[in-house]
Amino acid sequence: MELYALMGFNNVSISDLQYALDIGRGTLYYYFSDQDELFIACMERYFLEPKQWALKSVPDDAGIDTMIGAMLEYLHSLEAALLTFDIKTINTSNVNDLMFTAYSRFPALHRKAQRLALKELELWRKAIYHDQRAGRIRQDIDRDQVALMFTHIKNTYDSGLGKTQMDFSLLEKTYSEFHKLLKI
C-alpha cells in the first residue's frame, strides 16, 4: 500500500512489489493472480474493512456522540496504518488519488465503497433522530441535510495547510463544533 500511495497504482510494477515485499515473483503469484488483485486487497484492507468494522460497531439506538466516536475510530485506524509507512510524506492527496484510481478502475470496489457510504449516511440519520427524540438536539433541523453534513466533514477533509502528514485531530474538533451547533 505504501508503494501505491507514494507512486500511484499505474507506476508500480510487479518488480517494485517483489522488492518491497522481499518475495519472489512465484510467491507473489501464488497469493495473488495479478497486480489488480493485490491492489484491490490493499484497498479493502486499508480503507473499506476498517470503515465496515466501525459502522458495525454502532448500535441501532446510537446517538450522535456514538457516531462521532465510530467515525473517529475509523479515521484513527487509517492514521495508524499510514503511520506504519516508512515514508512520511504520504498525505490526503496520495490517498484521494488512490481512491479515485481504485473506484474508477474497479467497479466492484466502488460499489462496496458506495454501500458503506450509504450505510454511514443512514446511521447518521438514525443518530440524529435518536438525539432529537431524546431532546438532546434541536427539533427544527433537517435530519437528511445534517446527516449529509456530518458525512462531508470526513469526506472533504484535506490536511492542506502545507502539511505533508495527515492530522486527524482537526476532524475531531470539527465534529465536536458541528455537534455543538445542533444542541439545544
Give the pLDDT confidence of 95-132 residue by residue, as tens digits. 788 889 999 999 999 999 999 999 999 999 999 999 99
**31 contact partners, CB below 8 Å, separation of at least 6:** 38
Per-residue pLDDT tens over the stretch 27-61: 999 999 999 999 999 999 988 999 999 999 999 99
Q: Is 161 left (phi over 0), alpha (psi -120 to 50) or beta?
A: left
pLDDT computed for residue 159 by the predictor: 47
pTM summary value:
0.87
Per-residue pLDDT tens over the stretch 63-77: 999 999 999 999 888
